């Protein structure tokens, strides 16, 4: 059994990058991508891999945590470091993870459409 067996196979016109390799975005572009930004044609194959690989659920959880951390940091600075604030931040993180995993398929499909893949590419076959 090959590692990509059972995964969606969509080929890019130019292989996804200029040299045909799957390029990984730098940290700033990855943060932009984690907040919903498009990366452009250079990272097209990487986005497909990111949203359809075996570890896609773990990657989604990391993206959700990265989205919540700035708000949690601001809340902690503004409201202080009391236990009530920590409980609120923790409950907010749990709620964000629940929504993030509940809507993973639709958000993955939306990300792939933004990167020029046809709708339904992220759905398991």
Report the pLDDT value the prediction gives residue 124, as an integer from 0 to 100: 67
- The per-residue DSSP string of 69-120 comes to HHHHHHHHHHH-S-HHHHHHHHHHHHHHHHHHHHTHHHHHHHHHHHTTPPTT
> Kind and range of the H or E element at 55?
none
Q: By three-state DSSP, how is residue 8 classified?
A: coil
Beta strands in the chain (DSSP E): none
Q: Quickly count: other Cβ atoms within 10 Å of residue 63's Cβ.
A: 21
Report the pLDDT value the prediction gives residue 121, as an integer from 0 to 100: 86
> Kind and range of the H or E element at 3?
none
Report the pLDDT value the prediction gives residue 22, as an integer from 0 to 100: 67
Report the pLDDT value the prediction gives residue 21, as an integer from 0 to 100: 57
List per-residue pLDDT tens for the chain, 125 residues long.
444 455 445 444 444 444 455 689 999 999 999 999 999 899 999 999 999 999 999 999 999 999 999 999 999 999 988 999 999 999 999 999 999 999 999 999 999 999 999 998 887 66
């Amino acid at each position: 059994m090959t590692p990509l067996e059972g995964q969606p196979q969509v080929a890019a016109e130019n292989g996804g990058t200029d040299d045909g390799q799957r390029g990984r975005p730098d940290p700033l572009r990855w943060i932009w991508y984690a907040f919903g930004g498009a990366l452009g044609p250079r990272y097209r194959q990487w986005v497909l891999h990111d949203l359809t690989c075996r570890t896609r659920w773990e990657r989604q959880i990391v993206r959700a945590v990265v989205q919540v951390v700035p708000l949690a940091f601001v809340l902690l600075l503004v409201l202080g470091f009391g236990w009530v604030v920590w409980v609120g931040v923790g409950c907010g993180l749990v709620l964000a993870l629940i929504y993030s995993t509940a809507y993973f398929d639709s958000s993955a499909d939306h990300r792939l459409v933004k990167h020029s893949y046809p709708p339904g590419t992220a759905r398991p076959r």
